[in-house]
Structure 1
Amino acid sequence: MQALYGFRAPVEAWIGERPAPSAWNDWRPTAIRHLLENDLSALGLARPPALDFAGPEAGPAGEGLLGILYTLEGASLGSQLIGRRAAGLGLGVANGAAHLAGTATAVGNWKGYFALLDSAPALDMERVADAARTAFRFARAAFEGKHA
């Protein structure tokens, strides 16, 4: 969980520093940093040192942001399974698994994310893919305890 926080906190901060494109209307990315902070506290775990995340260029149609979001929003799919397993271990919203519930209940956001991709004009999918790879590399560094 500390590694997940080490990944999500700086990436979510990076996203928060960028304005949401007007084409998003009411859609917003799923943020769980605050839930991870609560879970770490509930389990008596310290927050890891902050990693520096240098996100990609935005791109003309927001490709950089969309690529990063691919990584974060896709996590909601796995959270459903992991959340059930955590519940089997006695972990729930009040004692260490709130972040799993927060992403598992946002699975509809995944569909909304793909609607954004479908509706984006002149989207350079290679830039989106490059940005997603940037996020995956950063996640790997966080889970390996390396500063990216």
Structure 2
Amino acid sequence: MATIQSSPAPALRLNNVALAVADLDSMIDWYRNVFGLQVETRGHFNPVNADFAMLTGNGFRLELVSRQGGEHRPADRSAPPLHLHALGWKAIVLESDDLAATTATLTALGVEIVWAEQALTPTLASTMVRDPEGNLVNIFGELAQTCCS
């Protein structure tokens, strides 16, 4: 096997995360209403006969792709930690400066909460939610500090 002298990785950067969805319009609305993402562009990918929408906001891009016809296989809805037994990408992971406020907003919007402000490490917590088609969105933030007298 040949040794690679230099890596192409320095020339690469993340463009977007792509998510296959069954109902493009309703998923655009959900990501717009819940996370404030805006539609950058919409179009059609001829090679795979799929419609797409590129959503942007808060420093990231999310590509929603929908192909009509055929049978859609639903997202794995295993609850954590069993969700890690299904191989593949697990979640869109976001970060919040105020996880408690973000969690309260998501709750008020009626978003499906998998867990709320779950301590992951001594300083990190997350609120995990599902979009309407079952895909996980995990939001990290600092663990709320409690002070004792």
Task: Give me the TM-score of the superposition, normalised by structure 1.
Answer: 0.28
Higher relative strand content:
2
Tell which structure's C-alpha radius of gyration is larger: 2
Higher relative helix content:
1
Structure with more contact order per residue of length (Cα contacts < 8 Å, sep ≥ 6): 1
